[in-house]
Amino acid sequence: MKTPFSRILYGGDYNPNQWPREIWAQDMELFKKADINSATVNVFSWAKLQPDENTYDFSELDDIIALLSENGIDIVLATATGAMPAWMAKKYPEVTRVDFEGRRHKFGQRHNHCPNSLVWQKYAAKLAGELAKRYGSNPHVVCWHINNEYNTGCYCENCEKAFRVWLRRKYGTLEAVNAAWNTEFWGHTFYDWDEIVAPNDLSDGMGFGFTRKTAFAGISIDYDRFLSDSLLENYKMERDAIREYDKETPITTNLMGTYKGLDYFKWAKEMDIVSWDNYPAYNTPWSLTAMKHDLMRGLKDAPFMLMEQTPSQQNWQPYNSLKKPGQMRAQSYQTVAHGADTIQFFQLRRSKGACEKFHGAVIAHSGSGDTRVFKECAQLGTELKGLGDELLGAKNPAEVGIIFDWDNYWALEYTSGPNIDLKYVDQIHQYYRYFYERHLPVDMIPIDGDFSRYKVICAPVLYMVKEGVAEALERFVEAGGTLVTGMMSGIVDQSDNVHLGGYPGPLRKMCGIWAEEIDALAPEQSNTLVFGDGSRSKCSLLCDLIRLEGAEVVASYGEDFYKGTPAVTRNSFGSGTVYYVGTQPDSEGLARILDELKVEPLVRDETPLEIDKRVIDGREYWFIINLTGTPQAMPESFKGETDMLTGREVEELSGFDTVIVKR
């Protein structure tokens, strides 16, 4: 995979416009001291660049770009459209959003525009074009950064009208819309396009505390698709404006991992390179962070950019713990190990005011280069500089694919029943964690991906099975692949209408079972899995009541009125095998099931260290990362090897240490 960069970009968000100019020179010296080679600028500068609708003032940005260029700093140049200026909201109040509760917002915060406002689109596209015309030929501008952390949530009249147009294109006729949404339910039949309204809290949306449900999942899922598409059109609009003047520089926008609102697989098709912002909490499992990295890599099956992380602590989470000594470095190498070609921070200098003044930065409020955090950033910068361009574009080979699908994400969590604790990302992560802990590389793959590349595909809670998906999975299994699926799979079609004929719908033949009923277990309840050798483990959340239709039993339930009935099954189909896991096993039980897959790990060593491999041009780069915080012995597989970062042989890794071995 060709990378667009000539070196590992190391830097982050930089806002010199917030500081007097004498600070800028100090920053340049500190950047050199820390081997910082890139800066992301102009993310929220629209109000400064355009003080009114007819005036542009690029004088300060000219100086910033000239300063960075003179100092050999690569520039990630943002289009500044992440927050509109106050004059726009004042003169054109329709540019602001209407939220789920039906309230029109005033000017404030960021991510504050209606994606279907023609006024906003006009000014955003023009600004992007003006920036590209002015700076697109600057060789130090190595990447364009459109907007910032796009998120969804507008239910205004602009969006209602655009939604109706979107529906006409998708369905053609109102009859097709009524059929797709099953509008006979609750007398919702539509006879005119103008009768369709946005499904927020004032219509068919239902807000229960922090959970948003809906009376008509078909409507709400289509509205989520529409909102994702609307913001994607905003992105494409700015991208195309840039391309009028700059034909080659890569263009991106920073994504947010498993953020629910946008279909990132669809977005990635329009992006030159994926970038994302990684902000785990103090108690986020390292496996979940790794999974999100792999998802970002999987969006384009290519290396990605880490656009933001904090060098020390966040400010917006409930508990904003400091990173322990060495933890930022280890976290950064975990990112590189999973496919990143950049390490960037928010932020390079800590703000002096507003809501992010306590968000971590390379340069703290003291302005000193003598802090612990700065020294750790400088160490990492020196090491990344030493790696040069060797790792750029390297791949992450994997034999296991885990399906991640935003339509399923939306549909599963809109479902009224059977259990409010059923969460899409949690279910995916349980399977990912098994492979992560056993040094088994994973690709996170789309529902329409190339399944033939893998020996094993896991499709937990594949609730929505759209047209062609079952057939593609059948071809994969018939050719010798192994599929793992289970509870809440094969239930509905693309409009959230149930596949009639018994669960798991179009997967039933392949799975060799019929799930007749689904029992929901409250948090204090559980059941037991009983395996063939008599061993037992706990299960919870949901229990499918299964009848065999050709499959064999791997484990049965040990309790309740369905004691002794199948809970986990295995079915031969063509040359392959399908496992159906009809409940949520605990980690021990899931391991017992997945151990049957016989996938070859990267190493056989039993070690708590994370081990990853990237490959390019016949070279292998092995990452051995100690995320435990306590000393760990070097695995036998790497005894006597030389660490690329230190040039020394390593016998023991201290807490949060990392070793890279080249083979």
Count CB neighbours of 214 within 10 A: 22
Task: Report whether 536 belongs to an annotated binding site.
Answer: no
H/E stretch holding 152 reads none
DSSP annotation of 321 reads: P
- The phi-psi region of residue 656 (left if phi > 0; otherwise alpha if psi is between -120 and 50; otherwise beta) is left
Check if 467 is active-site: no
Q: Strands 619-625, 576-581: parallel, antiparallel or unpaired by DSSP? A: unpaired
> CA 564, CA 267: separation in Å to the nearest integer?
46
H/E stretch holding 412 reads helix 406-414
Task: Report whether 458 belongs to an annotated binding site.
Answer: no
Map tokens 């039949």 to a residue: 189
Distance of alpha carbon 144 from the chain centroid: 20
Token representation of residue 219: 């409507």
Distance of alpha carbon 173 from the chain centroid: 35
Residues with Cβ within 8 Å of residue 437, at least 6 apart in sequence: 287
Check if 195 is active-site: no
Catalytic residue among 53, 60, 130, 149: 149
Cis peptide before 418 (omega within 30 of 0): yes
> CA 540, CA 584: separation in Å to the nearest integer?
5
Q: Strands 442-445, 536-548: parallel, antiparallel or unpaired by DSSP? A: unpaired
Q: Are 473 and 507 in contact (CB under 8 A)?
A: yes
> CA 278, CA 464: separation in Å to the nearest integer?
28
DSSP string, 510-556: HHTEEEEEEEE--TT--EEEEETTS-EEEEEEEEEEEEESS-EEEEE
Nearest to 452 by CA among 478, 415, 422: 478
Largest CA distance in the chain: 77
Catalytic residue among 160, 308, 413, 610: 308
267-302 burial code (b ≥16 CB/10 A, e <16): bbeebbbbbbbbbbeeeeebbbbbbbbbbbbbbbbb
Task: Report whether 377 belongs to an annotated binding site.
Answer: no
Task: Report whether 539 belongs to an annotated binding site.
Answer: no
Task: Report whether 156 belongs to an annotated binding site.
Answer: yes
Q: In 3-state terms, what secondary structure has residue 305?
A: strand
The catalytic site residues sit at 149, 308
Q: Give the residue ranges of the annotated binding site for Zn(2+).
A: 114, 154, 156, 159
Q: Give the residue ranges of the annotated binding site.
A: 110, 114, 148, 154, 156, 159, 316
Q: Give the residue ranges of the annotated binding site for substrate.
A: 110, 148, 316
